[in-house]
Structure 1
Amino acid sequence: MYLLVYVDDLILTGNQSTSITTFTRHLHSEFSIKDLGLLNYFLGLEVMHDTEGLFLTQTKYANDILDRAGLLNAKPVATPLSISDTFTTDGTPFSDNTLYRSLVGALQYLTITRPDLSYAVNKACQHLHSPTEKHFQLVKRILCYVKGTISHGLVFTRPATSTILGYSDAD
């Protein structure tokens, strides 16, 4: 059984429905909870279930970013950056630092289901303190790539055998 807690939202999943039911009943006896059933949408992540496993995407979230940037009708590109694109520190300062930071932050959250964006978004993040016009053009290119790959996401298939794994952040 897996339990994900984010502020006042919970996701509970596992392969033994009796354990989940018992745990949910116990939670309900201690707290006021509402069971929303099968997970479909959580914190901008869309979850699709099938017999093979799960597909996670952020299509709605990506559309919202494109809308905020005014790029819903943009022409898609094949890669997030071209081989000649570089994030240099020189150039004309970008006039709206807040917009740049907002779009780059949104793209950073999009990398949860889009690891193909990680390198380009990381490069854009390195210039949050003083973006230039060129930086903003490169962020727009990343967004044009997102436009062309809007339905991409992560596939999690059911394993053939179960194993127990434990992770801890021992700080």
Structure 2
Amino acid sequence: MATSPNGLFLSQRKYVIDLLQEVKMMDCKPAHIPLDSKLKLDLEGELLSDISYYQRLVGKLLYLTITRPDITYVVSLVSQFMHAPTEAHLNVVKRINSKIPQGLHCLGNYHEQHGHTQIMAYTNVD
């Protein structure tokens, strides 16, 4: 986190780089959108041999949604398969994590009358 008179800048860049190194995806090509709109996830397919690996990655992505509101929907979608993930689910998780974020800039205004700072953040995610 960095502060300035213009507000706060929150970044989890190092967190994402560490995560990409963990899953051996540092050389991956970033996806512009975190989910293919034609993809339908279901319970069909062979279960992953290491379910805890999937659960750990999804948990780390949940933490990442603090500064990446653009991935919130797809992370909530893949988290629905924590009990029985398949290779298809893991591929979606890897696609989510392929882009290294810049950070989130929050504008701040100090209100002397109320004695607190108001933080506002804007995103184009609907």
Structure 2-normalised TM-score? 0.83
Deviations 1:140-169 (CA, angstroms, capped at 9, x unpaired)? 11112x33xx21x3222122645468xxxx
Structure 1 CA distance for aligned equivalents of residues 108 and 47 of structure 2: 49
Aligned counterparts, 1:12-161, within 5 A? 47-144=1-98, 146-147=99-100, 150-151=101-102, 153-159=103-109, 161=111
Structure 1 CA distance for aligned equivalents of residues 42 and 115 of structure 2: 46
Contact map agreement 1:53 1:157 (CA 8 A) in 2: yes
Q: Would you identify which runs of 4 or more consecutive aligned residues in structure 1 move more than 3 Å? A: 160-165
AA of the residue aligned to 1:105: G
Structure showing greater relative contact order (alpha-carbon pairs closer than 8 Å, 6 or more residues apart): 2
**SS in structure 2 at match of 1:159:** strand
Structure 1-normalised TM-score? 0.62
Flag the 1:164–1:124 CA change in 2: closer, same or farther, 3 A. farther
**SS in structure 2 at match of 1:104:** helix
Superposition deviation, residue 60 in structure 1: 0.7
Q: CA RMSD in A?
A: 1.7
Deviations 1:69-103 (CA, angstroms, capped at 9, x unpaired)? 11111111100001112221111211221111111
Deviations 1:44-67 (CA, angstroms, capped at 9, x unpaired)? xxx112221111111111111111
**Percent of aligned positions that are identical:** 37
Equivalent pairs, count: 115
Name structure 1 gaps, 5 residues minimum: 1-46, 166-171
**SS in structure 1 at match of 2:30:** coil
